[in-house]
Amino acid sequence: GAVVSQHPSRVICKSGTSVKIECRSLDFQATTMFWYRQFPKQSLMLMATSNEGSKATYEQGVEKDKFLINHASLTLSTLTVTSAHPEDSSFYICSAPYGATEAFFGQGTRLTVV
């Protein structure tokens, strides 16, 4: 089946620094990708919709200046957590729609801000 690769799988950064997470569709094109966040023992919440060649769409309550999304090509979307703080520590996961009814997920990135 289709594959979505997310990198890195785990990152620890210092408070105040920025972290970039990449999401690639390896064998199909994705004009749209979705970024989710999962806090410990909670469900996944949609953060934003990444659109190739245009601005991302953010869900209510998500700071667009803090979570920068770039969808520069049909196979790559990036999420940059800027000026990270401990409260940004979470599990971030991307997905890319495949066909009309399916989505493939990346492996996820566990971010720890110290």
Whichever of 52 and 82 has its CB closer to another protein, that residue is 52
Residue with tokens 């009814």, as numbered in its chain: 101
Please report whether residue 108 would count as binding another protein according to CB under 8 A: yes
Q: Give Cβ neighbours of residue 14 (< 8 Å, ≥ 6 apart).
A: 113, 114
Please report whether residue 60 would count as binding another protein according to CB under 8 A: no
Residue closest to 25 by CA, chosen among 45, 46, 1, 48: 1
Please report whether residue 49 would count as binding another protein according to CB under 8 A: yes
CB atoms within 10 A of CB 61: 7
Whichever of 66 and 110 has its CB closer to another protein, that residue is 110
Please report whether residue 69 would count as binding another protein according to CB under 8 A: no
DSSP β-ladder status, 109-113 and 10-13: parallel
Q: How far is the CB of 16 from another protein (least distance, A)?
A: 26
- How many chain residues touch another protein (CB under 8 A)? 23
